[in-house]
Copies of this chain bind each other. A is one copy, B any other.
């Protein structure tokens, strides 16, 4: 695939992965009892999938095992004055292998809130899409810092 953004703003696969790798905070959507749920997570990219940690006592936890999910990230590029959004759709699975857990931890994954987050979840993508577009009022975007520091949500 061409690594250049398409004229219509569609991002390439490689661009999407680069944006995912450069961010660490996203919002995950899952379906619980037929209703959409959404919550922010801190994540790392591991083996071209998304890994994150969660506590195991919530209703959401049961929704995170082998279930369809979508992760969205977005931001603004002051150089091009364009906003962007990337969505990874796929299925979650529990990471059981300790070596994989260690690898994820070594990538700097931190829990959002203090407290035990014993479960490691992987979101393996079936579809990855992204787009970049001019915004109507670029001036109001300029202060939205898109650096690593913003990434410490979790």
Nearest first, the 6 closest Cβ-Cβ pairs linking A and B are: A140-B152, A29-B29, A29-B36, A29-B38, A38-B72, A35-B68
Question: Are B34 and A68 in contact, CB atoms less than 8 angstroms apart?
Answer: yes
State the Cβ distance, A31 to closest chain B Cβ, in Å.
Answer: 5
A104 within 8 A of B: no
Give A28-59 as 1s and 0s: 1 = Cβ < 8 Å from B's Cβ atoms.
Answer: 11110011111110000000000000000000
Assess whether A13 is interfacial by the CB under 8 Å rule. no
**Cβ A72 vs Cβ B31 within 8 A:** no
Taking the nearest CB of chain B, how far is it from the CB of A6, in angstroms?
15
8 A Cβ contacts from A86-118 to B:
87, 89, 110-114
User: Is the C-beta of A21 less than 8 angstroms from some C-beta in chain B?
Assistant: no
Which parts of A52-89 form the interface with B (CB within 8 Å)? Answer: 68-72, 74, 83, 85, 87, 89
Cβ-defined contact, A72 with B27, below 8 A = yes
